[in-house]
Structure 1
């Protein structure tokens, strides 16, 4: 696990799944943040939200640009591991009982239909369209009771950042077990009823944001502005952290 830009990242996929299995074995509830540019910017603007993300088991790197920043600042190579990828990796493993929380009922219906073709067991898993309300108004005890009764091990949450991360942090104290993972638009990507993910060549070229702007201009332009506005300060602060680490290492030596 490594900390950059005030986020604790786990870049090693093997370590991600090892941590999930360990939490389930020990019946220790927790959550994983899928940290994209919006989360990166919000963490560094909102101290309360920063605590929410820091309270996760760790974050995986959903941003295609963070690896570029790390190569530029530190000269290290790290890989993106986005929400849609971990989502399908776990689906294809066909190992866990899962629950799917968030978005709309038509999207959930399409998601259940498509995922059941990969793993027929998914047809009998819990798909629940969370009501549209402020994050403080959910009945977390009731949701936790339903999850406990269902026996869900992996709990997928799709409410959009930053709401979904706050939701997980508030639900965690009521859970007896289970690992929550916030996957944002992944439900839409694989439902067959809503936004598809950008073509692979755009993802590889770090241009997925252009495709998202094309699909959802109002929402994505607002998010892009948040990221662009925050970026100079974030890079400057991380560069200073690098200098301090080098200075401390030199003093210790």
Structure 2
């Protein structure tokens, strides 16, 4: 079902079933975590909207987005935060994984920390990418390296919306594997860099966005402001669609 013009799945069990069955069947696809920034872009850029809606499945990576949609549709909608999903799949200790993007320093810290959870991760691939525009990557060459490694899961950390477009363009060259575009999650699980996840009490109060705003104000405050400006229009549109669905169900 589409919410705010983007297909989002709120059923965690269905999300996990689709991911795991795709891996088991040697399929391929990508998973996007939908939050305020890429929701804003998706409602302003038709091509990026198509990128999100071409995903294997999308999760809601914003507790406030889930809250608004739950009130509109009178449903209990809960987010599936990308940082939580990442740890769930690492903790399974059963998939071969490939870590792509971010900086060598962050990747070194990530490898060190994740290897404490699953020692097999020590022998898995951690690869930084050169800083360039998304259309300038050699996708065929990148996919060739990944295909040789034959991972079940490819984690991509390039930041939104770059990582979503990157996954969409890389997909045709992959033989198999599920890609996840989760941005700062490498940083959250590495000792390197200054980006940290909000403390649990702030996450429980749906204030993780506020923590991120103060942590990286130049980057995140403009993003949040653009979403806030767009939000009344999105809510009005969603209410209208909700009432149409109610009337349709009465017939």
**Residue matched to 1:123:** 122
Cα distance in structure 2, aligned partners of 1:21 and 1:90:
10
Which 5+ residue runs of structure 2 have no aligned equivalent? none
Cα deviation, 1:114-161, whole Å, max 9, x if unaligned, reads: 000100110111101111000001111111111110011100001111
Tell me whether 115-124 or 24-33 shows the greater mean CA deviation: 24-33
Q: Is the Cα contact below 8 Å between 2:32 and 2:52 reproduced in 1?
A: yes
**Residue matched to 1:75:** 74
Residue 220 of structure 1: CA displacement?
0.9
Alignment of 1:89-168 (within 5 A): 89-168=88-167
Q: Is the Cα contact below 8 Å between 2:67 and 2:78 reproduced in 1?
A: no
**Residue matched to 1:197:** 197
Cα distance in structure 1, aligned partners of 2:19 and 2:57:
11
Q: Is the Cα contact below 8 Å between 1:99 and 1:152 reproduced in 2?
A: yes
**Residue matched to 2:11:** 12
**TM-score under structure 1 length normalisation:** 0.96
Cα deviation, 1:185-239, whole Å, max 9, x if unaligned, reads: 1000110112110011101111111111221110011111121111111111101
**Residue matched to 2:244:** 244
SS at match of 1:101: strand
Residue 27 of structure 1: CA displacement?
2.1
Alignment of 1:161-200 (within 5 A): 161-194=160-193, 195-200=195-200
Runs of 4+ in 1 over 3 A off after TM superposition: none
Cα distance in structure 2, aligned partners of 1:183 and 1:236:
29
Cα deviation, 1:37-70, whole Å, max 9, x if unaligned, reads: 1111111111110000000011001011122112
Residue 83 of structure 1: CA displacement?
1.0
SS at match of 2:47: helix
**Residue matched to 2:208:** 208
Tell me whether 160-169 or 210-219 shows the greater mean CA deviation: 210-219
**Residue matched to 1:231:** 231
Residue 26 of structure 1: CA displacement?
2.5
Aligned residues: 250
Q: Is the Cα contact below 8 Å between 1:9 and 1:60 reproduced in 2?
A: yes
Residue 3 of structure 1: CA displacement?
2.1
Cα distance in structure 2, aligned partners of 1:137 and 1:224:
28
**TM-score under structure 2 length normalisation:** 0.97
Q: Is the Cα contact below 8 Å between 1:29 and 1:175 reproduced in 2?
A: yes
SS at match of 2:100: strand
Which 5+ residue runs of structure 1 have no aligned equivalent? none
Cα distance in structure 2, aligned partners of 1:22 and 1:209:
32
Cα distance in structure 1, aligned partners of 2:143 and 2:170:
7
Cα distance in structure 2, aligned partners of 1:162 and 1:200:
26
**Residue matched to 2:24:** 25
Q: Is the Cα contact below 8 Å between 1:83 and 1:184 reproduced in 2?
A: no
SS at match of 1:31: strand
Residue 249 of structure 1: CA displacement?
2.2
